[in-house]
Chains A and B, each alone.
Chain A
Amino acid sequence: MTDTNLTYKKSKRRQDIVFPIVNAILLIILMFVTLYPVLNTVAISFNDGTDALRGGIGLWPRVWSFKSYESLLSDPATYQAAWISVSRTVITTILNLVLTSMLAFTLSRKEYVLRHFLTTMMVLTMYVNAGLIPNYLLISKTLNLSKTYWVYIIPTMFSCFNMIVLRTYISGLPEALVESARIDGAGDFRIFWQIIFPLCKPVLATVALFVAVGSWNQWFDTHLYNAGKPYLHTLQYLLKMKLATTQASANAAKSTADAMTSTTQMTPITIRCAITVVSAVPILIVYPFLQRYFVTGMVLGSVKG
């Protein structure tokens, strides 16, 4: 008995020393493997475009050039578009958090009579797709949302995937929380808003990240509904257009005779990398604020008793 206990303890000690080291090494290797291509992208974005065509750039630009960023950021339209993008991202994220968690809460209530019906209905939306044209006709013709700012908000207020993530999390919370609140006479809405919603912070931070990234990276809705209205263009749409234009001019229309004179300093390669950086930076800035919630964790023990 004492013998086994001893070996158990010994092995445990070995685990406690060896494991963190192995773990750290593994994670550092992983970091290197993921970081290299990212830094490579950044390096290329700061390289001269024509030179970058020759490839072989590592972690440092070979011929420095800010041309790609200049062409992206010198256009005054960029700032108007950035504003549209930021505002739509913020509004969409807030609306999503509220609506999604609200529905998730109701669908986590086992006693709710519509629970099964509504859950099935929501889940199926992830698997059925009516196709582009009917969706377009709905939003553009029936609801008349095209050429308006609302087309960025109204169709994207809710996401089923995030709702399920939230619901799973809420189901994992101690049932006693709801029970005791109910005994105190709280209604469902108050229970949701005052007890459940604050407890969901880690997963709300995750959902906020998912929604914000999705909304921020969206260009297709601008393309479909607002392409003809420059003041409603989003940043991603402008960037997408920049890239497409650079590509198209690299392909050079066979009849435009400018061929010999078109030595530009931008190429699709550098532009693409610069666009990646420009669109990722705002998210990287916001990220630590969200990360705090889902990396640090919370103390639930106190309410569990």
Chain B
Amino acid sequence: MSQMVQAKPKKRGGIGEFFSKLWSQKQLMLMSVPIAIYVFIFSYAPMWGWITAFMKYNPKNKNLFDNPWVGWDNFKWLFNRQEWLGVLRNTLAMSLINLVFGTVSAILLAVLLNEVVTKAFKRTVQTVTYLPHFLSLVIVVSMAQNIFASDGAVNQLLLSLHIIKEPVFWLGEGKYFWWLVGAINVWKEVGWNSIIYISTMTSIDPSLYEAASIDGAGRFQKILHVTLPGIKSTFVVLLIMNIGHLLEAGFEIQYLMGQNLVIDWSQTIDVFVMKYGISKMQYSVGVAAGMFKSVVSILLLFLANFIAKKLDEDTLI
């Protein structure tokens, strides 16, 4: 009903109409435009820095335009490095693994918690599972390296169950690397990531559960028909957002775990840039890589958003 009322002036168009509408929304504007200006200053104004991607930038030149122009050379340097494609592949693979398993595990935990009736138990589980979020990755990776060592807990368990005959060299063979990173990420963040879904579930109208019960729905039916639809918009919005972040596979964990034996599988864009960017006086290469990431991210974002719109789902933008 309300939307139909809203839609009418749009059809008629007209500049006067538009301004009168603008005037009627002055409170909304007062509440949003100052924040937009703030965001512009802090997020968009520094973007002049992107032009240094086309220079051989050295911070010692006080006048920006004293830096020589080099066209696309910095991008070419990046894309021509023989490991570049591998780096791109690793980044995408690890963030995909992270996206899929991270999201699924967080939703699963949230759903399971939502089914718990005892409040104290619910709170305890929730508190305990989010604790690892506060451990530094250095500690976490160190523990993981002990667990996955040749004589570590995982190998011992598998050996005693006769699943394997020889200890597996988890840390030294590239093919395991992505999955180890995925497992560590899931373990560390599952509780934290589920918080957002748990809080969304609180907005589900309890009468929906009652109605479902009256209709004779069991636990699984209720989860399927009430809980999951209740968090769908949050899920879709976060999914679109994360698809835009597919080139952000992280830095620290790969840096800490990526011994050179597995470097062909471990190096991500961020690790690569850290190795060959500022520390090699290649400021511009770092900027170029950042710019490449931004552009790809935005393309991915719009693509995901477009698909969501076509499917009639909630959208981010």
Contact = CB atoms under 8 A, between A and B. Distances in A.
Decide if A and B touch, CB cutoff 8 A: yes
Interface of A: 5, 8-9, 11-12, 15-16, 19-20, 23-24, 26-27, 30-31, 33-35, 37-38, 40-41, 55, 99, 102-103, 105-107, 109-114, 116, 118-131, 133-135, 137-138, 155, 157-158, 160-161, 164-165, 168-169, 171-173, 175, 179, 187-189, 192, 202-203, 205-206, 209, 272-273, 275-276, 279-280, 283-284, 287-288, 291, 293-301, 304
Given A164-B237, A295-B126, A128 B136 contact: no
**Shortest 9 CB-CB contacts between residues of A and residues of B:** A134-B49, A294-B199, A297-B202, A134-B46, A130-B46, A188-B27, A12-B218, A125-B43, A127-B297
B87 interface: no
Interface in B119-158: 119, 121-129, 131-132, 134-136, 138-140, 143, 146
A175 B5 CA distance: 14
Interface in B268-298: 283, 286-287, 290, 293-294, 297-298
A295 to B, nearest CB: 6
Nearest to A287: B127
A105 B27 CA distance: 12
Interface in B231-289: 233-234, 237, 241, 244-245, 283, 286-287
A175 B2 CA distance: 9
Contacts of B109: 30
B32 A119 contact: no
A34 B301 contact: no
B143 A164 contact: no
A300 B205 contact: yes
A240 B244 CA distance: 31
Nearest to B210: A301
Interface size class of B (residues with CB under 8 A): 35 or more
Contacts of A27: 112-113, 116, 121, 125
A300 B50 CA distance: 48
A20 B202 CA distance: 20
A8 B216 contact: yes
Given A37-B135, A110-B6, A192-B31, A129 B198 contact: no
Given A12-B216, A131-B287, A296-B119, 10 more contacts: A12-B219, A38-B128, A40-B143, A99-B35, A206-B195, A280-B131, A291-B126, A293-B202, A298-B202, A300-B205
B46 A16 contact: no
Contact of B27 (A23, A171, A189): A189
